Structure formats: structure tokens, C-alpha cells
Copies of this chain bind each other. A is one copy, B any other.
């Protein structure tokens, strides 16, 4: 990993890195915040997955997460949302598919299947890289995210309860196979056989059970995407069915922006820190 830049922040270091990715076949950029406690030994790692159109930057400059990460002694990793530097047919044509919109899946369809492998990148490659460059405790990993990244975090946790100890989300797409954003993305990356979509639908995965630790989800009631794309009630119903421990908080008047995310960031990092340090 090459360091692009580095900034002192809340007694720790906010670094931005570039590395070659075997999963995507491209260079990838990633932001890593290392809190001051890193001097004392291996720390838990919390990965944040961003939403549509984002890179590592939105979260890193807008969420105010460093303060809480420094308080709790947690490393925070913020990857990009898709491969970059390609020019596949139609890749940059819309904000909700292709570049900036990898949906954290491993594509199976042409022309996406070679590079759009964000599921493998986030699950396998990135944690390995982070472990090789920073003093982390690989047994203590958590994951969270926003919108498309909330979808990614929930899917990643529910499919890999052995790898992640904690999960939370801000205004997640909770059922990608049943909303327009998800139908477009899963159809494009995985093809029209909807059976293949189920492995990337957080609510369908939650219904099967298997995730045991408390989940925190915050959702603003004035979120413009609430009814059409997010549908938190589907996750609520699925978790109720399987006995999965979900706390879904409907936050009155909050929208889909980082003004909302920053407001509840402290609660989310405290939620993860408690589970990761238990």
C-alpha cells in the first residue's frame, strides 16, 4: 500500500492509501484512521462502506468518526465504492450503476465480472492488506455503512458471522432484490435470474437467521429515499421472524445526508466498540 497523504487528527493519524487490487484488477484507494491507542498493541478494525457516488472521501471528511474512533481505540477503514480507472461500456452513464455503485457484489455478467468484485475485495482482500500494514486484531472486526453501504455491511455480516463480530447501518437499502436501485444493480451485475440475487438481499438473509449479536440501524423519517428504496420495515419483519436482535431507530426529521450520519456516528461507533472489545 502506498500512502498518498497523512494527517494528524484527534491524536491519531488519518491516512489515505493506494494499492493494486487482485480482486478488481485495478488500483484502489482506501482511507485508514489509526487512533492513538495503536501504540499499545493490536486494535479492533471497523470497516465503513459508503453509498452511491461516494469514494473514501465523503465519510472521511464529513462523518466526524475520528473523534469517536480515538475515544474507543478502533481503527477505521473506508474503502471506495467500485473499481476506478476503467472505461467499460456504460460504466459512467448513471449514478446508480457502474462506477461509484459497485453494490458490494461479485458480478457474474459481462462486461462487469472481471473487475466488479467488491464483495471479494471487501471480505477477503482488504482485511488481509490491512492486517499486513497495521497492528490489528483480526478476530475483532466490525462493519457498517450508509445506504448502498448499509446494504453491503448487513449482507457482509449476515453471510459471514464468523468474520464479523458487529454490524450497524445508516439508512440502508435493506432488501436489494425488491427495490429499484437494487433491481437495476443486481440485474446488471448478476443477470436476470432472481434466485442469484437472494445472497445479496439483507432482509432475506436475516430471515434465515444466523446472526446473533445486536444490530443497530438508524433511519431518518424525512429521508427522500425511505419509501421507494430503503423500506426498513422489511428488515424489521425479517429479524422478528428469525429472532435476530435488531434495534431500528426511526429518527424524526432526519434526511439521507451526512448531517444525519454525523449526528448518530457516536452511537454507532460506541455500539461496535462495545461488541468488539467484549
Contacts and interface: CB of A to CB of B under 8 A. Distances in A.
B8 A262 contact: no
Contacts of A257: 7
Interface stretch (A60-68, A76-84, A91-99, A143-151): A60-68
A127 to B, nearest CB: 25
Contacts of A263: 8-11, 66-67
A262 B251 CA distance: 25
B8 A260 contact: yes
Nearest to A220: B8
B220 A255 contact: no
B61 A258 contact: yes
Contacts of A66: 259, 262-263
A253 interface: yes
A2 B239 CA distance: 44
Contact of A9 (B8, B10, B11, B260): B260
Given A7-B259, A9-B260, A64-B67, 14 more contacts: A7-B255, A7-B257, A8-B222, A8-B255, A8-B259, A8-B260, A9-B259, A11-B263, A61-B61, A61-B258, A62-B62, A64-B262, A66-B262, A67-B262
Interface of A: 7-11, 14, 61-62, 64, 66-67, 220, 222, 251-255, 257-260, 262-263
